């Protein structure tokens, strides 16, 4: 089966669209599933949070009433009988309460031991232990005889000094009722008087949770603070520990107060569920319970399946519309134009070049192809015309070739005859017969060749004759040259002797020049050394000038210092003079000070005189140093000029040395 271009295009397009839709659907379905799971679990958290608030609210109201009664006992001097009459109010107010009670610490309620009195809640041991409970005929007062203060209902509130909720338990005496205790300590002046509490039946609370159906088929359960089932998927699991499907990390996280979501958990109806475990605190009771909500996986699957059906249906509609559009487009823009072009190609293959190609007025690729095909049609027509002309030219050339072949055969025969005649003549020439001539005329233009051959042989014969005459002449000249050579040999020997003497003289001159060149080089070396010493002397002079200038600067600074000392001496003299005047005014009391002032004055005068003398010496030294600097500078200038002259002499000596060396080299070359 031949697959057309339209079929291939539709197949590729449909496959590409299908792949794009599949990839898009897979991505969208994945996103929908993730989003649905996220939204569903977020809703599950919200439901679990609402359930936790509902449970906490019921227990919080009850715990508040217990706390209020405990506070009342702490602040007032209520008697045993009065408190015993107050306790039933907690049972009457709350349907969840099974019993209310008070248990004093050892002689803690009022500091005394009373006689047994059931009406006032005092047992046979004199301890205050009233316990009200629901009976068949109404409320009943029980006064327990045996008290164990190590149990949690007494030990926890007394040690924490705060309200607590005990771990739920099954009370066999109450018909295996599921119960818990809410207990508050009674503390007055920081002394524990006892604990006051209620026993709460949890059957009603558990029943209310069993009726809840989140997401239609979900379940809600409760876990105690220790992770035991308070309400469980199966009745047999109540008050048994929940192992979190073997996930110890999740269990630890929940016990630390974190919400955990477990996946792939098998629910009560053997269907997979998402299990949300959310801890929550019972306010004021220092206890944390956990709400467990099972969300059926089918809730997510149903939403994903619905979205998948919608996507698939929409995708199929889109794919069908796109394929139909492609089919129409392929038929209009590919099949019809290409079919026309195929017919035009078939017509051209049959040799019909007269009619133009259809479709050249289109502005697309088909129009460009039609134009190219029309150009090809013109070339085919031109080719056919050229073929016809070439055939006529071939026939004419064939006729011309036949005529040329006949002429070539005639020319070849003529050439053969000419070659044979020339061959015979050359053979005679090779045998030394210079008198042989070709006498038989050649046909046509070859006659000129015969004339040239005969002329060449004639010229050769005449040349040989003249050559013989020339050889005789050469023999005579050779003999004359032999005699001249003998004479030239003798003269050459005389010249050789003269050259040997000249060579010896040149060797002596070359040795002298070499010696002169060596002396010139030695002189140049000495001059160069002198130049170096002169430069060093110039450096020494410059350093001496710098040192003298430093001495001159130092002398100037010393002069300044001496001037300061002179000024200090002058000021000291004035001060001493003033001191003497003041001592004179003081009379006898100032005589000693006047003597000291006089001594200071004389010392200042001597210091000033010494300073002036030193200043004069330094001034004279400065003048001499200045003269020395001038002389040394002049000496440095003279040394610099000497160094320049020495450098010039050194340059001249170098030139003399090089010139002498060149002359010696030239003489050695002449000598060799």
State the pLDDT at residue 478: 46
Taking the mean position of all CA atoms in its chain, how far away is CA 197? 69
How many Å from the N-terminal Cα to the C-terminal Cα in the chain? 105
Phi and psi of 289, rounded to 5°? -105, 180
Rg, Å, the chain Cα set: 72
Summarised one tens digit per residue, pLDDT across range 306-345 is 667 777 777 788 878 877 887 787 777 666 777 676 777 7
- Which pTM value belongs to this model? 0.46
State the pLDDT at residue 71: 92
CA 588 → CA 404, 593, 601, distances in Å? 171, 10, 20
Q: For residues 64 and 163, give the distance between their C-alpha atoms in angstroms, rounded to a whole number.
A: 10
Nearest to 644 by CA among 535, 529, 539: 535
Residues of the chain whose pLDDT is less than 50?
A: 1, 471, 478, 481, 485, 488, 492
Token couple for 260: 């955990």
Instruction: Print the SS3 string covering 172-221.
Output: HHHCCEEEEEEEEEEEECCEEEEEEEEEEECHHHHHHHHCCCCCCCCEEE
Summarised one tens digit per residue, pLDDT across range 62-112 is 999 999 999 999 888 888 899 999 999 999 999 889 999 999 988 878 777
Taking the mean position of all CA atoms in its chain, how far away is CA 311? 42
What 3-state DSSP class applies to 483?
helix
CA within 13 Å, CB half, 531: 15
The DSSP H or E segment spanning 229 is: strand 229-231
- Complete DSSP assignment for 531-599: HHHHHHHHHHHHHHHHHHHHHHHHHHHHHHHHHHHHHHHHHHHHHHHHHHHHHHHHGGGGHHHHHHHHH
Q: Please, what's the b/e burial string for 538-569 (b: 16 or more CB within 10 A of its CB; e: otherwise)?
A: beebeebbeebeeebeebeebbeebeebbeeb
Residue 301 near residue 271 (C-beta atoms within 8 A): no
Q: For residues 311 and 313, give the distance between their C-alpha atoms in angstroms, rounded to a whole number.
A: 6
Q: For residues 602 and 582, give the distance between their C-alpha atoms in angstroms, rounded to a whole number.
A: 17
């Amino acid at each position: 089966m031949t697959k057309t271009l339209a079929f291939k295009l539709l197949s590729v397009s449909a496959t590409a669209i299908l792949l794009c839709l599949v990839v898009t659907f897979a991505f969208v379905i994945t996103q929908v599933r993730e989003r649905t799971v996220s939204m569903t679990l977020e809703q599950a958290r919200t439901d679990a949070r609402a359930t936790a608030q509902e449970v906490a609210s019921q227990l919080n109201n009850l715990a508040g009433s217990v706390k209020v009664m405990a506070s009342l006992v702490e602040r007032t001097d209520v008697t045993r009988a009065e408190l015993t009459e107050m306790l039933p109010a907690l049972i009457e107010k709350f349907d969840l309460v099974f019993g209310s009670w008070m248990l004093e610490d050892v002689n803690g309620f009022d500091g005394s031991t009373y006689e047994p009195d059931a009406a006032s809640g005092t047992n046979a041991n004199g301890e205050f232990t009233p316990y009200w409970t629901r009976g068949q005929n109404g409320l009943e007062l029980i006064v327990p005889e045996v008290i164990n203060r190590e149990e949690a209902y007494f030990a926890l509130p007394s040690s924490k000094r705060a309200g607590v909720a005990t771990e739920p338990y099954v009370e066999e005496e109450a018909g295996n009722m599921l119960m818990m205790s809410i207990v508050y300590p009674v503390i007055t002046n920081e002394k524990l008087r006892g604990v006051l509490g209620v026993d709460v039946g949890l059957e009603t609370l558990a029943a209310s949770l069993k009726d809840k159906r989140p997401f239609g088929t979900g379940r809600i359960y409760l876990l105690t603070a220790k992770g035991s089932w308070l309400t469980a998927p199966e009745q047999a699991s109540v008050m048994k520990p929940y192992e979190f499907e073997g996930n110890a990390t999740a269990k630890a996280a929940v016990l630390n107060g974190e919400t955990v979501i477990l996946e792939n958990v098998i629910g009560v109806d053997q269907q997979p569920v998402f299990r949300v475990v959310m801890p929550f605190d019972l306010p004021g009771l220092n206890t944390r319970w956990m709400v467990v909500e099972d969300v059926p996986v089918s809730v997510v699957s149903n939403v994903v399946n619905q979205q998948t059906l919608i996507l698939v249906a929409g995708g199929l509609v889109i794919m069908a519309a796109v394929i139909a559009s492609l089919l129409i487009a392929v038929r209009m823009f590919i099949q019809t134009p290409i079919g026309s072009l195929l017919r035009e190609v078939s017509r051209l293959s049959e040799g019909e070049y007269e009619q133009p190609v259809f479709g050249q007025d289109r502005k697309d690729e088909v129009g460009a192809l039609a134009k190219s095909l029309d150009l090809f049609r013109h070339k085919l027509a031109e080719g056919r015309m050229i073929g016809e002309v070439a055939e006529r030219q071939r026939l004419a050339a064939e006729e011309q070739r036949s005529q040329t072949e006949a002429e070539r055969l005639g020319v070849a025969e003529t050439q053969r005859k000419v070659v044979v005649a020339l061959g015979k003549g050359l053979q005679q020439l090779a045998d030394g017969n210079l008198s042989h001539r070709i006498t038989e005329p050649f046909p046509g233009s070859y006659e000129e060749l015969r004339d040239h051959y005969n002329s060449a042989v004639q010229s050769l014969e005449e040349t040989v004759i003249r050559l013989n005459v020339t050889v005789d002449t050469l023999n005579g000249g050779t003999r004359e040259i032999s005699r001249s050579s003998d004479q030239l040999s003798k003269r050459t020997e005389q010249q050789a002797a003269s050259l040997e003497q000249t060579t010896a003289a040149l060797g002596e001159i070359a040795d002298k020049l070499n010696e002169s060149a060596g002396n010139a080089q030695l002189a140049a070396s000495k001059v160069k050394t002198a130049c170096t010493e002169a430069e060093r002397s110039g450096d020494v002079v410059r350093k001496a000038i710098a040192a003298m200038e430093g001495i001159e600067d130092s002398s100037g600074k010393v002069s300044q210092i001496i001037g300061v000392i002179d000024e200090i001496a002058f000021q000291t003299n004035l001060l001493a003079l003033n001191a003497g005047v003041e001592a004179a005014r003081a009379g006898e009391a100032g005589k000693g000070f006047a003597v000291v002032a006089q001594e200071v004055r004389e010392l200042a005068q001597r210091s000033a005189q010494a300073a002036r003398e030193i200043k004069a010496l330094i001034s004279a030294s400065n003048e001499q140093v200045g003269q020395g600097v001038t002389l040394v500078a002049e000496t440095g200038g003279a040394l610099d000029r000497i160094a320049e002259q020495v450098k010039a002499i050194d340059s001249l000596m170098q030139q003399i040395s090089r010139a002498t060396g060149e002359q010696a080299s030239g003489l050695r070359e002449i000598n060799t």
